[in-house]
Amino acid sequence: MAVTVCFLLAAVWFFYPVGKPEGGSVLFAMRLALPAIVLAVGSLWLRPKLMMMGFWFCALGDAMGVLGSFEGQMCGFALAHICFICFFGGEIRRAKEHPFMIVTIAIASLICLVPLGLAACKVIPAIPDLPIRIGCSVYALLLTGTVWTAIVREYTVPLDRISNPFKAVYGAVAFLVSDFVLAWNKFVEHIPHASVYIMFTYYFALLLLFAGVEGSENSKSIKKIPKKV
pLDDT > 70: what percent of the chain? 86
Render pLDDT for 95-116 as a digit per residue (tens, 0 to 9): 666 667 788 889 899 999 999 9
Question: Where residue 24 falls among pLDDT bands split at 50, 70, 90?
Answer: confident
Arithmetic mean of pLDDT, 201-209 = 96
Return the amino acid letter for 200.
Answer: F
Render pLDDT for 136-193 as a digit per residue (tens, 0 to 9): 999 999 999 999 999 988 877 665 455 555 689 999 999 999 999 999 999 999 999 9
Query: Do the domain assignments include residue 59?
Result: yes
pLDDT of 224 strictly over 50: no
* Cα gap 37→225, rounded to integer Å: 35
Quick check: pTM over 0.85? yes
Query: Do the domain assignments include residue 221?
Result: no
Query: Do the domain assignments include residue 227?
Result: no
pLDDT of 127 strictly over 80: yes
Residue 159's pLDDT is: 54
Nearest to 158 by CA among 211, 209, 101: 101
* Cα gap 140→113, rounded to integer Å: 11
Residue 175's pLDDT is: 97
Nearest to 147 by CA among 162, 168, 163: 168
Render pLDDT for 52-69 as a digit per residue (tens, 0 to 9): 999 999 999 999 999 999
pLDDT of 28 strictly over 80: yes
Query: Do the domain assignments include residue 226?
Result: no
pLDDT of 198 strictly over 50: yes
Residue 95's pLDDT is: 65
Nearest to 70 by CA among 198, 186, 199: 186
Residue 63: give the domain boundaries.
Answer: 2-212
Query: Do the domain assignments include residue 224?
Result: no
Question: Where residue 215 falls among pLDDT bands split at 50, 70, 90?
Answer: low
Q: What's the structural domain count of the chain? A: 1
Pick 184 or 18 by higher pLDDT: 184
Q: Cα-flanking dihedrals φ and ψ of residue 47, to 5°?
A: -135, 165
Query: Do the domain assignments include residue 72?
Result: yes
Alpha-carbon dihedral of residues 38, 39, 41, 46, nearest 10 degrees? 140
Query: Do the domain assignments include residue 47?
Result: yes
Query: Do the domain assignments include residue 10?
Result: yes
